[in-house]
Structure 1
Amino acid sequence: MITSKWFQDRSSEYYFLSNYKPDVHTINNNAPFRRADLDIYSIRKDFPILQTRVNGKSLVWLDNSATTQKPKDVINTLEEYYSKYNSNIHRGAHTLAKISTDAYETAREKIRLFIGASSLEEIIFVRGTTEGINLVTETFGESNIEKGDEIILSIMEHHSNIVPWQKLAKKKGATIKIIPVNECGELILEEYKKLLSPKTKIVAITQLSNILGTINPIKEIIEIAHASEAKVLVDGAQGIAHIGIDVNEVDADFYVFSGHKIYGPTGIGVLYGKKELLQNMPPYQRGGGMIKNVTFDSTEYNSLPYKFEAGTGNIADAIGLGAAIDYVNNIGINRIMAHEAELTNYAMERLSHLPGLSLIGTTPNKSSVISFILSGLSPDQAAHKLNEDGIAVRSGHHCAQPVLKHYGFNSVIRASIGIYNTREEIDILANSLMKMLR
């Protein structure tokens, strides 16, 4: 168990209006943390599901690492799409097709600005982080990884950032190397440097661990990799909603995230890739929309980003993701970071005093994720008891078995924080756990 002093540190082919100016704000991801200064109780009113009662108790949603709840703006955007301008995009000459296309490409522009990408051609719509990683392994990986080459992952990776690379390595005869962590859940960068060699082709690393809550030093990791001429894919599934990203500032080669982790719909996500890399990668899937010209003898593929968007895309949810980005921008990613840092600090402090509770992932440089086990109760038993008090947490291996096994566990309880969570909810969690530990 840790002590209560743990946190003392701390292009013309695009079919949208050429004069469109998106209602988004410049994101300064380098601004220092400060007190959040947010009216969380007003923010909570934006999320209808938070009025739900579970087992007669007010819902306490602490399963945000699995999925975030959706504000009314996102819900209303989806309803508006289906009730007012549902249409396929890009090729229709009628009014609804133009409205739908404009909304879809406007969402792409909002995302570009939010993550700091240079060009719309670098923003690819996918189903989520998992598909984005698979796209990179099946295209960049297929074209660039050869027998004897090396792929570097960290021990804290989600299975979605392990299994696709395993498949590629097995097929190509490549080797996977693993960056270790120390006892409090930080990557050991000196060991990482030792893993790099002229054979290293790509480093695939999470921005924020879904088990440990560790915020990895992405910019430094990328600089080290680039010094060895290796490319870097950043898994932003957890990081996107909690700490944001400026892909140009950190010089990421690829960045992937899922919409449902950042208050948007399920089934939509984004792959960012540097333009020159995407141009040299073969298509991931083939079909309508990703072609310029087809004969029975040959096919000429479309330009970016459409080369990677075969078939009818998830139009409604892409537009819904744009609404979620608007919502986050209206609050401000730095204010969200500050609120969640305060709340993470408070939760770690409260839980560290509970006898019989052990925390996993204790670095001060963490956010949003609190994982733990209880003496005398399995994680599943504890999660079911918390549910009786209306508290939604997750138990299990959280699709990150290697790092759990490193710490000697097969399963843990995870409470994960979002913008709408409060100190009172942390107190409810702590009091419910205290009843179990008596």
Structure 2
Amino acid sequence: MNSAVDLPLGLADLAFAASGEALVRRTILPNGVRILSEQVPGARSATLGYWVAVGSRDETAEVAGSLGSTHFLEHLLFKGTRTRTALDIAVSFDSVGGEHNAMTAKEYTCYYAKVQDRDLPMAVEVIGDMLTSSVLDPTEFENERGVILEELSMAEDDPADAANERLFTAVLGDHPLGRPIGGKPETIRAATRDAVWSHYRANYRPRDLVVTAAGAVDHDVLVAGVQRALDAAGWDPDEQAAPVDRRPSAPVAIERGASVVTATRPIEQANLLIGCPGIVATDERRTTMSVLNSILGGGMSSRLFQEVREKRGLAYAVYSFSGSYSDAGVFGLFSACAPAKARQVAELMLSELHRLADGGVTADELRRAVGQLSGGAALALEDSDTRMSRLGRAEISLGEFSDLDESLRRLHLVTAGDVQQLARDLADRPVSISAVGGVDDDVFSGLVA
């Protein structure tokens, strides 16, 4: 590949070579199901994903009992179909040493498995059955309500998770992306089977479905297996439907929810996050963001690590991150430190962002960042999980596929001026602080406008 490959929704069949002699193919069935594969020479395993482009942001607050439906479904689809019990599903993978799980995100849900090449047809059949033919058994529904509440309690007991959820709400305000992915205890308690069933029927349709597989996979065999699984579920293979449109990618106006949010707890550290609105997933500066993130807080040579940990010994963990979605994003800085040092650490983190914006980056920093990101990208692609996920994000979110060669080409085009300009943009945006631990709002008084 010499450039990114567009993935137009109106093109039914597509095939192209990717770096490392991989072969990428895409087929769109008449009913709108999109199937993508990346065949990797020498692979002996494959990772499979069934994706639906619906996430926590798509739940309807106006419909009683619907908040938390996406997370509920992620759990319930493992609890049995018309032809398989929950134990049957588990045994199918355990008996071949495979792995299977699911993830709910803000803009999609994915059910996935990793198996030996010979077991891929089984994975296609079983996950296809789960996704298309769940019965949402009422007894299992109530049992799983308790499981999800325990999962939320576990996350709330993790101060870093708790601070992260609060940061997204503080930065994004009432935007649906500011909503917790897993729901809140009160929404899970209020969720009804009828509301979750309606959410399932409305969003789990052929035109919403994307199937991706990477590793030891034959595309034609994969397509035939998906078709059999959908036929068995009664999904009409001759139905004519276009794939669901991708989400609009224009950034929307964000109204900050809060400048400072704290939760005081009697723990040893203050888990501290500083954030501002970031960039959208399709922003042309996304590669520049990766470089900026590497320089500012992406490794042991990063500015945050050197200033906060190495020079002053104020924290063990400190880093920066970026989360990008279709119409909004969050850029953030994290550290965990002694509560008495929380304000000092917050001041230092903000100072490093502004120093980057005002003074730019050195040629050596740029070289190190490009090297770190290049090596990390190459190593990640040794895993079929990463390749499968790359296919899913390319199809659902980006509308284009970039292989390793194209990613490296884009990295080497980033200049020091690009990084400084983006840093200036971020530094001018409204900032929010979220902290969980032995601190309160007064600790950060006057630190952010």
Greater helix fraction, Structure 1 or Structure 2: 2
Relative to its length, the structure with more strand (as a share) is 2
TM-score (norm 1): 0.26
TM-score using structure 2 length: 0.26
